[in-house]
Structures are given as structure tokens and as C-alpha cells.
Amino acid sequence: MKVETGSFTVKTERRLQVLDVTGKVEEWLSTVGGVNGLLVVYVPHTTAAVAVNEAEPRLMEDIVEFIRELTKPGGPWKHNLVDVNAHAHLGNTIIGDSRVIPVVGGRLSLGTWQRILFVEMDGPRERTVNLLYLGE
């Protein structure tokens, strides 16, 4: 079994932001030569997340607004007494910090409109996206 690890950085520009990182993931996969297996995409941050969805610009804006409404930045969260980013931790809890994507024939097995999205909820920052390939 082949096991490969890697990472790349993402620089965000806004407090809440959704970025399509599919191209960076595909580029990394091609360099490690994964053929058939599983790819784990993981963000080692408690205030960011990773999702799989369409990268249509208006939908990405809708995702930001949905997170804003759901998590209420600046709301009455107890953690805001320590650091005013409780909304970002809550968003990470809801969306999740990882996704497992099948790799078939050397390509990500994503649906027609599916893309890998990095979700920033406490930016702007420089973030890390970790990758783990298991397969042949």
C-alpha cells in the first residue's frame, strides 16, 4: 500500500471566506502518483473547515452568509469572553475539519459540480491544508 503525505498553504483575505482549493489538491495528487485509493483532506485548525460543494461564486457567498447567520459572530457565546471567535469554532464543529475523497484512475472521484472548498471563519490568516493519500 502506498502512503503519501503533504500540505499546502492558503492565504485568506476576509474574516469569513470560502476558497476553491481543488486545483491545489489535484496538483499534489499528480505529484505523488496516486492511482486508486483514498485522499484525506484535513485542516489542522479549530476555526476553519473543509467542505465539498459547488464553487459557483454566488453559492460561495451564500455559504458565508449561512455560516454568519447560523453562528452569529459577536453573539453571546461564552468563549467570546476569552477570544472573540466562538462563531468560528462553532462553524468548524458543524462543517468539519476533514473530507475523504475517493481516487480512481489517478483522479479525484468528485461529482460533476463538486469542488473541495476551504472555509475560513476567523481570517484573514495563512492556513495549512494537510493531505494524506492511501492506496496504490
User: What pLDDT, on a 0 to 100 scale, did the predictor assign at position 78?
Assistant: 96
Domains of the chain: 2-135 (2.60.120.460)
Q: How many C-beta atoms lie closer than 10 Å to residue 7's C-beta? A: 13
Q: What is the pTM of this model?
A: 0.96
Assigned C-alpha cell, 90: 462553532
- Residue pLDDT, tens place only, 64-87: 999 999 999 999 999 999 999 999
User: What pLDDT, on a 0 to 100 scale, did the predictor assign at position 110?
Assistant: 99
User: What pLDDT, on a 0 to 100 scale, did the predictor assign at position 91?
Assistant: 98
Per-residue HEC secondary structure of the chain comes to CEEEEEEEEEECCCCCEEEECHHHHHHHHHHHCCCCEEEEEECCCCCEEEEEECCCHHHHHHHHHHHHHHHCCCCCCHHHHCCCCHHHHHHHHHHCCEEEEEEECCEECCCCCCEEEEEECCCCCEEEEEEEEEEC
* pLDDT bucket at 125, cuts 50 / 70 / 90: very high
Assigned C-alpha cell, 124: 484573514
* pLDDT bucket at 126, cuts 50 / 70 / 90: very high
- Residue pLDDT, tens place only, 27-72: 999 999 999 999 999 999 999 999 999 999 999 999 999 999 999 9
